[in-house]
Amino acid sequence: MSEVLQQPQYHQDGDSAQAGETLLQIRGLEKHFPLSGDFLEQLRFEGGRLKRRQEFVHAINGVDIDVKRGETLCVVGESGCGKSTVARMVMGLLSPSAGEIRYDGQRIDDLNPRQLLPYRRRMQMIFQNPYASLNPRMSIQQTLEEPLRFHHPDWSRQQILDKIGEVMASVGIDPEWGKRFGHEFSGGQRQRIAIARALAVEPEFIVADEPISALDVSIQAQVLNLLMDAQEAHHLTYLFITHDLAVVEHFGTRVVVMYLGRVCEVAETRTLFDRPRHPYTQALMSAIPRLEDDGPDHIKLPGEVPTPVNLPSGCVFHGRCPHANDRCRHEIPQLIEAQGSQVACHAVEEGRI
Amino acid sequence: MALLEVSNLDVRFALRQGEVKALRDVSFTLDRGERLGIVGESGAGKSVAAFTILNLIAKPGYIADGSIRFDGRELTTMKPRQLQQIRGNKISMIFQDPMMTLNPVLTIGEQMIECLKAHRRIRSRDAREIALNKLRQVYIPSPERRLDQYPHELSGGMRQRIIIAIALLLDPDVIVADEPTTALDVTIQAEIMELLLELCEKHNVALILITHDLGVVSQVTQRTLVMYAGRVIEQGPTREIINDAQHPYTQGLINALPQMATPGQRLNQIPGSMPSLANTPPGCAFHPRCSFSDDANGERRRDCREVIPTFVRSGNCDVACHMVRELVESRPSESDASDDNSHKHREAL
Amino acid sequence: MTTASTSSKAPSRLARFRSSYLLYSFKRDWIAQVCFAVFVALVLAAILAPWLSPMNPYDLAQIRILDSELPPFWIDGSDPQYLLGTDAQGRDLLSTILYGARVSLIIGFGAVILQALLGVTFGLLAGYLGGRVDAFLMRMADIQLSFSTLMVAIIVGAVIKASFGGAIYSEYAVFILVLIIGLAEWPQYARTVRASVLAERSKEYVDAARVMGFRAKRIMFRHILPNTLSPIFVISTVQIANAIISEAALSFLGLGMPETQPSLGSLIKSGFDYLQSGSWWITLIPGGVLVVLVLVINLLGDWLRDVMNPRLYKG
């Protein structure tokens, strides 16, 4: 009911916005970072001839993700899986090597900065490190004022000050503290200010890249509650990047599990935790230390995470998977439907597990 | 006699804005082969406690009071040369970030051999043998190759294993591990904790594990200390602290975990944040955030506001809390009523 | 919920400065205090030269050739109206030193301002935009560095004198020298700023600014530049000292300030020939002033560098 009352304020175009439709669509996303330095460094003398050798870090290798309006989609994975890279590409901080990103039906990955401007208001981001996400040389008020002036050049000074006060109070920071600088606040408070900055322009979609990982446990709870409150109050859609599965279980609507730049499994939260299908997901679930445990008891994965420079052939996980067969070594698995989840695994497809 | 006895330790930092008390009246013991966890959030003083045991606190920090007895010998008054024999040799330390602990310009072998030679008179060849042995104990594949590799050529998990191997080189009696898995992925973390557990059990090495992660502590340690604003506020068997925490802060900490809340509902949060060590409230440092520090009229209890709580034994745990003290002292007898009362005070929550 | 502080009013700029580490450290370091005092004294003396000096060394009418080579006041044979003695032409040495210091300081500061403007701009562009812009600007910096300042000064000086004559050169000598020294040393600033920018660019507040839609120019100047100021201040002190010395060296070689507008360097040069004949004060006193000036600037720079060393900030 409250959705109907609030809606017109938050959507600039497309009055047909309803919960459940796809807001963000990622198809075939790929990103390769060149490792070999500039042109001169790439030239090598091999076999008597001058050759150009290029090495890449294959950070993302074909990712498809849908984010539905109103949901909290969590992307989980360990370091090197590419989840942060996906977040940065969605926000336009990096450009994809291949693939498409569509927002509200419009392709946004190939727009120039001027065309992208209207989307900047609708899509915002919260970062991991509260100590680096505020400019040390700007006061809080300046930090919050600048985006408002930029996106609302017609607002009066008083309107801006009012908005700043409102948004600071909504995240639990005393508006009187606007003249202070970032280093005078604790980590949790800085993260609140970063959230205030994101909320100030009234976005509809927020990408949160590990927003609570750098905080203490009791502060994590506060900030997470704040994010949940904000979602309810402003009908936000979250793309939530994290490695903390406990948070995912509590907060997420659906979960995407990534490994080495590919999606292993996509499922509703409850389904993922009750019945993880992909072998990597199963190993991940078993590795979380739970309070009830008396001793570590987890599925051990042999080997190490391979380097994203030389990707394994076929399924990226085959080197460490207890169920790998020959097909796994040669053929890249695609996401298939399997009892409520989508899984990219030959063994699941073949019914072996 | 306990292997390590810390009594009334008081560590202060002389900063230009005044003197900051980083550790206040901290006492605990560690027996041979025992695994102790020190839990707390940032600013609680747990890392300072770890560094102090090895007397690694440098200016402007200093030990203002208290004693640290290791194997009967007093560490706070030892000369640097005597301390050198203990550090690395009998008590070794594992730090949080393996990349920062290993010297990037030396090979693994060079670092391990250097460590051995600093404490023992042995030939390089023998040192290399011992190093290989320890690498095998931490299950590093192809150890001979690793000795000649540089830290940046190895993954995070491997580096941490090597750090553990280095910590074990001289067969220490105690390993102090300061957040050893915080920088690692969850699957690697599980492996490292399992490894530490196995090694400590097999070689009867005592472990002091410092962390903010209650899950890790519950898996590995036998006893736990909970620290807040430079003091120990609760200590006891890990199982009991996790299942039946008595101090309001510990309860709040456990309840704040996402796994303790119903999915979709708000998490149970502790209001406010830990006070900075330069500015702790008088009396019980936790009282401004504590929901039990109010008396019948809704006002802050005087003892919570003014008196620093001392330890009271409740069950198998020692708790520094006025409210818990009241409950314990009001029990008619120790044996049967104790279960009754612990239910009562949990219902009161 | 707010961090421990009884008043909710934010401290003013003055209050922040008063409680800053800079001031605290300054109060405890007597060397810094002495150097700063000497530096301020020299700068003030130079600025107030027209009022402080007993006579005007540029006024030919005031020079008495008969009073040449008089020693300073503590030696026999001196004349009390010439405190530090006179030079070979009868000019009061104290006055010439005051005016000379003025010229040296003007060139020193002027050159550094030019260097800083160019260097900071190029450093920002190179660091933030990266890629080809970075490569091009850094190669230009390398090329610039491979030219010795003296060589450039010789060439430029010779060309201007040949094209426009000595008189024009004399009139614009200060500007020409500021230009030469300024253009010679911008790579120092550019490199320092570029390194800072590279470090800042990876921080999340820059990402936040990009995500907000701000353009590159705003991010570079409004967001990143204020955070690169510390290293700029530190190298500025050294650069001022270097500029003063460069100018002194050029003048000593006869390629800098002309005789009519002496700086400390040309004073040293003009007195050099008289060293043998016993009138050591003509060279050594200006030389001493130059040494002291450069020394205090360098010592202040050292202190500043230590103070501004990035320290761990705990909340």
B259 within some domain: yes
B66 within some domain: no
Which residues of chain C neighbour A215 with C-beta distances below 8 Å?
Answer: none
Structure tokens at C270: 């003009």
C313 CB within 8 Å of a chain A CB: yes
Say if the Cβ atoms of B16 and C4 lie within 8 Å: no
Q: Whole-prediction pTM value?
A: 0.84
Say if the Cβ atoms of B263 and A250 lie within 8 Å: yes
Per-range mean pLDDT, top range of A156-170, B112-126, C224-238: A156-170
Structure tokens at C174: 């200060």
| Residue among C1, C24, C315 whose CB faces B276 most closely | C315
B339 CB contacts (<8 Å, ≥6 apart)? Answer: none
Q: In this predicted structure, what is the pLDDT of residue A11? A: 39
C309 burial level (CB within 10 Å; 0-12, 13-18, 19+):
exposed
Considering B123, B139, B169, which residue would you say is the last residue of a domain?
Answer: B169
CA distances from B176 to A45, A317, B185, B208, B286 (A): 51, 35, 21, 5, 27
B333 CB within 8 Å of a chain C CB: no
Contact predicate A198/A127, CB 8 Å: no
Structure tokens at C223: 């967001």
Q: How far is CA B238 from the centre of its chain?
A: 12
The three-class DSSP label of residue A31 is strand
Q: A41, A122, A135: which to substitute to probe chain C, counting the most C Cβ within 10 Å?
A: A135
Q: Is the pLDDT of residue A13 over 80?
A: no
The whole-angstrom separation of Cα C50 and Cα C67 is 21
C152: left (phi over 0), alpha (psi -120 to 50) or beta: alpha
B104 CB within 8 Å of a chain A CB: no
Say if the Cβ atoms of B276 and C24 lie within 8 Å: no
Q: Is the pLDDT of residue C60 over 80?
A: no
Which residues of chain A neighbour C208 with C-beta distances below 8 Å?
Answer: 125, 127, 133, 194, 197
Which residues of chain A neighbour B215 with C-beta distances below 8 Å?
Answer: 288-291, 293
Q: Is the pLDDT of residue C314 over 70?
A: no
Q: In this predicted structure, what is the pLDDT of residue B54? A: 81
Q: B276, B277, B280, B289: which to substitute to probe chain C, counting the most C Cβ within 10 Å?
A: B276
- Out of A40-54, A315-329, B238-252, C294-308, least confident range: A40-54
A4: left (phi over 0), alpha (psi -120 to 50) or beta: alpha
Q: From C6, which residue of chain B is nearest by alpha-carbon distance? A: B279
Name which of C145, C229, B128, B41 is nearest A215 in CA terms: B41
Split into its structural domains, chain C has a count of 1
Contact predicate B197/A295, CB 8 Å: yes
C47 CB contacts (<8 Å, ≥6 apart)? Answer: C102
What backbone torsions phi and psi does residue B65 show, to the nearest 5 degrees?
A: -160, 165
When pLDDT is averaged across residues C43-67 and rounded to a whole number, the result is 79
Contact predicate A265/A276, CB 8 Å: yes
Give the domain ranges of chain A: 1-12+68-89+111-252, 253-289+298-353
When pLDDT is averaged across residues C62-85 and rounded to a whole number, the result is 77
Structure tokens at C253: 């070689």
Say if the Cβ atoms of A287 and B263 lie within 8 Å: no
The chain C residues in contact with chain B (CB within 8 A) are 1, 3-4, 24, 315
What backbone torsions phi and psi does residue A200 show, to the nearest 5 degrees?
A: -60, -35
Taking the CB of residue A105, how many other CB atoms lie within 10 A of it?
11
Q: Is the pLDDT of residue B347 over 50?
A: no
Q: B273, B277, B280: which to substitute to probe chain C, counting the most C Cβ within 10 Å?
A: B273
CA distances from C173 to C156, C176, C177 (A): 11, 5, 6
B62 within some domain: no
Q: In this predicted structure, what is the pLDDT of residue C80? A: 77
The whole-angstrom separation of Cα A277 and Cα A297 is 19
Considering B129, B150, B169, which residue would you say is the last residue of a domain?
Answer: B169
Distance from CA of B344 to the nearest CA of C (A): 31
pLDDT digits (tens, 9 = 90+) for B3-45: 899 999 999 988 877 888 999 999 999 999 999 999 988 878 8
| Residue among A78, A219, A295 whose CB faces B187 most closely | A78
Q: In this predicted structure, what is the pLDDT of residue A39? A: 66
Structure tokens at B334: 């120790």
Contact predicate C24/C73, CB 8 Å: no
Distance from CA of A124 to the nearest CA of C (A): 7
CATH number, domain of C300, equals: 1.10.3720.10
**Beta-carbon contacts below 8 Å between B and C:** 10
Q: Is the peptide bond preceding residue A322 cis, with omega within 30 degrees of 0?
A: no
Structure tokens at C210: 């990009």
ipTM for the predicted complex:
0.84
For B201, half-sphere exposure in the C-beta direction (CA atoms, 13 angstrom radius) is 10
Split into its structural domains, chain B has a count of 2
| Residue among C203, C211, C227 whose CB faces A93 most closely | C211
B321 within some domain: yes
C21 within some domain: no
Say if the Cβ atoms of A113 and C213 lie within 8 Å: yes
Say if the Cβ atoms of C207 and A88 lie within 8 Å: yes
- Please name the residue ranges forming H helices in B181-247: 186-203, 214-220, 238-243
C20 within some domain: no
The whole-angstrom separation of Cα B90 and Cα B55 is 13
Q: Is the pLDDT of residue B210 over 90?
A: yes
The whole-angstrom separation of Cα C240 and Cα A133 is 35
Question: Quick one: B250 and B341 in the same domain?
Answer: yes
Check whether domain A1-12+68-89+111-252 has CATH 3.50.50.60, yes or no: no
Considering B169, B193, B213, which residue would you say is the last residue of a domain?
Answer: B169
Q: Is the pLDDT of residue B67 over 80?
A: yes
Q: Is the pLDDT of residue A204 over 80?
A: yes
**Tokens 């039906």 map to which residue?**
A105
- Out of A137-141, B338-342, C288-292, least confident range: B338-342
Which residues of chain B neighbour C312 with C-beta distances below 8 Å?
Answer: none
Find the helix or strand (DSSP H, E) in which C201 lies. helix C149-201
- Out of A159-168, A233-242, A324-333, C186-195, least confident range: A324-333
Distance from CA of C69 to the nearest CA of A (A): 57
- Please name the residue ranges forming H helices in A91-216: 113-122, 140-151, 157-170, 187-200
- Say which amino acid occupies C97: I
Q: End-to-end alpha-carbon separation of chain B, Å?
A: 39
Contact predicate C189/C123, CB 8 Å: yes
Q: Is the pLDDT of residue C151 over 80?
A: yes
Q: In this predicted structure, what is the pLDDT of residue A307? A: 75
Query: b/e map of B248-259 (b: 16 or more CB within 10 Å)?
Result: bbbbbbbbbbbb
- Out of A226-235, B160-169, B241-250, C144-153, least confident range: C144-153
Distance from CA of B292 to the nearest CA of A (A): 17
Q: In this predicted structure, what is the pLDDT of residue C192? A: 93
Domain that holds residue B310: 245-347
C54 within some domain: yes
Query: b/e map of C64-94 (b: 16 or more CB within 10 Å)?
Result: eeebbbbbbeeeeebeeebebbbbebbbbbb
A35 or A70, greater pLDDT: A70
DSSP lists the bridge partners of residue A258 as: A263
B87 within some domain: no
Domain that holds residue C127: 48-307
C244 within some domain: yes
Name which of A330, A324, A249, A331 is nearest A280 in CA terms: A324
User: Binning pLDDT at 50, 70 and 90, where does residue B349 land?
Assistant: very low
